[in-house]
Structure 1
Amino acid sequence: MTAGARRAAAPRAGRQAGPAPDVFAPRGGNDQAEGPVPLHRLDVPAPHLLPFAIGSFDTIGPLSRAGFPHRHSFHEIVYVTGGTGSHVLDEDRWPLRPPHLCFIAPGQVHYWDRVAGLRGWVILFTDDFLLAHPGDRDALTELGERPWMRPGPKDAARMAGLVREMLWEYGERAPSFRSVLQAQLHILIARALRLSAPYGAPGPYGAGGSDGAAGRPGVRRTEPVPGRAALVSREFTRLLAQPGSVGRSVRSYADELGVSVGHLTELVKRSTGRTPGRLIRHAQTVEAKRLLSGSRLTVAQVARRVGFADPAYFCRFFRRETGLSPGDFRRAAGGAGGIHHELRAESIEGPARPE
């Protein structure tokens, strides 16, 4: 897309916009190089744009309702308001009886099966968009344990109103709209954590009970028992999220989990599409960004906090991962306490990066 075309496509004040064409590019881009399951990436190629997009299934594009198994490098929240068929998430099949609120974590395999009349909204964002509310990462992990929720009428109305406010904010792009969107996403996640009986989550097909019970308010099903890969991956992710853990080696995690390095790599890659080493490097990068943008620690102090004894090596690592030096990143973030817009987010059309 040319610069002129980008300017022409940019949202204008008062417009109820879906994602700008150069924020989320739904133009094919299935990445087969990272394994047999395609990996879709969020495209944020310019510094003034967000690692975030929101829109309807139609405005986001056909990949938002893909009928083939795939995974993402980013978080996805789906609020389904209409349609029939089912949603398959990590081999569990969830029937569509809207409204539904669904949380899809990076690396999870999912697809829409035999859907018709699918309506609703899709919210896409990377970990970088959570820097203002780092606790939301843990909340999303918790929500991943019950990813398919069915809110009652009052909760559904509140959720729909909040999503519409986010759509308006995203389309207007008024001053400080990034901060407002981060706050609104934080509220959405917090409200999702509240959702519980009597409008419990219907279980997937095959999880026990009859299919007819799944759609009735107050009926819960036994959750399926996760496979070995999912269990080990979940425990690895939990350990990685603990304070002070980002600088640990893959071997230290493998030893704690009682598996070999090779077996840990195989299981985590099978479950998430990424190796433990890649996930550790991503966690180090996110934590470094948080410290550089939100504290007055020196670059050397930040390096030590994220597991690098040599500041020079940390600077090379950080530049390779983000495209900026730590100093340039901090200046782009507006100094200590600022918030950075990702410059090198993964694109759904971009080439695979080596693990």
Structure 2
Amino acid sequence: MRGSTVLPGTPCADPRAGDPPVHRLELRLPDDVPFAVGSLDALGPLSRASFPHRHTFYEIVHVTAGTGAHVVDLDRWELRPPHLAVIAPGRLHHWEGARGLEGTAVLFTEDFLLDQPGDRELLRRLGERPWLTLDAPAHARTARLLAELAEEYGHGSAGFATVLRSLLRVLLVRTARLPGPGPGAPAGRPGAVAEEFGRLIARTGEEYRSVREYAALIGVTPGHLTAAVRAATGRTPAELLREQRTREAQRLLIGTELTIRQVASRVGFDDPAYFCRFFRREVGRSPGDFRKHHDGRVPSLEGGAARP
């Protein structure tokens, strides 16, 4: 995940003109650990950002107090703490109308965790369940575990990165056990081919490819890719690609002030008219109508209205 961590004090990554800001994780020096944990106050004002933005890292927030809502892509979750919010890299999110928002956040990159089989699949599953309400026992267990993580991180004693990975993995496994399912909950563990396909199409800032091109990247035939993805998800690669393209267009329409022509270009359409037909077929309304019926757009960076 090159570019996902930066030296302390480095500003947010410069997005393409008109795109939402992209936040990166500061490195803890001299240890270079792509991990951080602390209260929302300790992590700074961006932990409560009210403007749509993306991360290059994972963020898990244990919300313990507050009112308002958390918006992840197109889903709006009312705050009725305690909750766990799971924000995967590339997801567009912000806190809307938040008052008295309190909690603890864990920030980490894939690079910090991925050294055991199943880690990537575990992260994928959690990323598809971005909002979980905790009962009293789960709330207490989560608070204790986060306190251990914060204590270990704060001391920075010898071997602390190993302890942090172990505690983080416990947090992830326990979170995956929590009842749901949330929107897009997985239907079952995919095979390696389907897992790699899902990882590739989830990347932001990538060019849009055909099923045949993705199959070539993975090193399988298009037929094998289709069979693997259908067995894992019940859907075809083409269907998932259309969905991913549509959701990215929706994110840009409601999270930026890019023109429809610019949005079309961002999601791989050279012809804006064809993009409009595609969008209407997938969503049931035109891009302009979809944007008009969604509030909360913020000024884009294209006009120089930079965000913190």
* Normalised-by-shorter TM-score class: 0.5 to 0.7
Letter in 2 for 1:185: L
| Aligned with residue 114 of structure 1, among 78, 92, 97 | 97
Residues 46 and 174 from structure 1, CA distance in 2 versus in 1: closer, same or farther, beyond 3 angstroms?
A: closer
Distance in 1 (alpha carbons) for counterparts of 2:122 and 2:175 = 9
Structure 1 unaligned blocks of 5 or more: 1-21, 204-222, 226-232, 242-247, 277-355
Amino acid paired to 1:149: L
For 1:183 and 1:224, the matched residues in 2 are separated by 27
Q: Does 1:81 align with 2:42?
A: no
Q: Which amino acid aligns with 1:237?
A: G
Deviations 1:168-199 (A, max 9, x none): 00001111110000000000011111211xxx
Inter-CA distance 125–34: structure 2 relative to 1 (3 Å threshold): farther
Equivalent residue runs for 1:1-355 within 5 Å: 25=8, 28-29=11-12, 31-33=14-16, 36-44=19-27, 46=29, 48-196=31-179, 200=180, 223=183, 236-237=197-198, 250=214, 252=216, 255=222, 256=225
Task: Pick closer, same or farther for the CA change 1:75–1:125 going to 2, 3 Å.
Answer: same
SS of the residue 1:67 aligns to:
coil
Deviation, 1:25, is 4.6
- Distance in 2 between residues matched to 1:151 and 1:176, nearest whole Å: 31
Other structure's SS at 2:25 match: coil
Q: Which residue of 1 aligns with 2:286?
A: none
- Aligned-pair Cα RMSD in Å: 3.9
Deviation at 1:252, TM superposition (A): 2.8
Q: Would the aligned equivalents of 2:66 and 2:99 in 1 still touch at CA under 8 Å?
A: yes
Q: RCO (CA 8 Å, sep 6+): is it higher in 1 or 2? A: 1
1-side partners of 2:197 and 2:11: how far apart? 32
TM-aligned CA distance change 1:47 to 1:236, over 3 Å: farther
Contact residue 23 and residue 49 of structure 1 kept, 8 A: no
Letter in 2 for 1:172: H
Contact 1:108 1:272 in 2 (8 A): no
* Counterpart-to-counterpart distance in 2, 1:270 and 1:87: 20
Change (3 A) 1:267 1:252: farther
Give, in angstroms, the shift of residue 144 of structure 1: 1.9
1:286 matched to which residue of 2? none
Q: Which residue identity lines up with residue 136 of structure 1 in the other structure?
A: D
Q: For the structure 1 residues 162 and 32, does the alpha-carbon distance in structure 2 shift closer, same or farther, using more than 3 Å as the test?
A: same
Please tell me the residue identity of whatever aligns with 1:73: T
1:39–1:71 Cα contact (<8 Å) kept: yes
TM-score (normalizing by structure 2): 0.60
- Report the Cα offset of residue 57 of structure 1: 0.7
Distance 1:23 1:32, change over 3 A: closer
Match of 1:13 in 2: none
Name the SS for the 1:33 alignment partner. coil
What TM-score do the two structures reach when normalised by structure 1? 0.52
Q: Name the CA distance, whole Å, in 2 between partners of 1:191 and 1:176.
A: 23
How many residues in Structure 1 have an aligned counterpart in Structure 2? 217
**Deviation (angstroms), 1:27:** 6.8
1:23 and 1:50 in contact (8 A); partners too? no
- Gap regions ≥5 residues in structure 2: 186-193, 203-211, 226-235, 253-265, 268-308
Whole-Å Cα distance in 1 between the matches of residues 172 and 14 of structure 2? 29
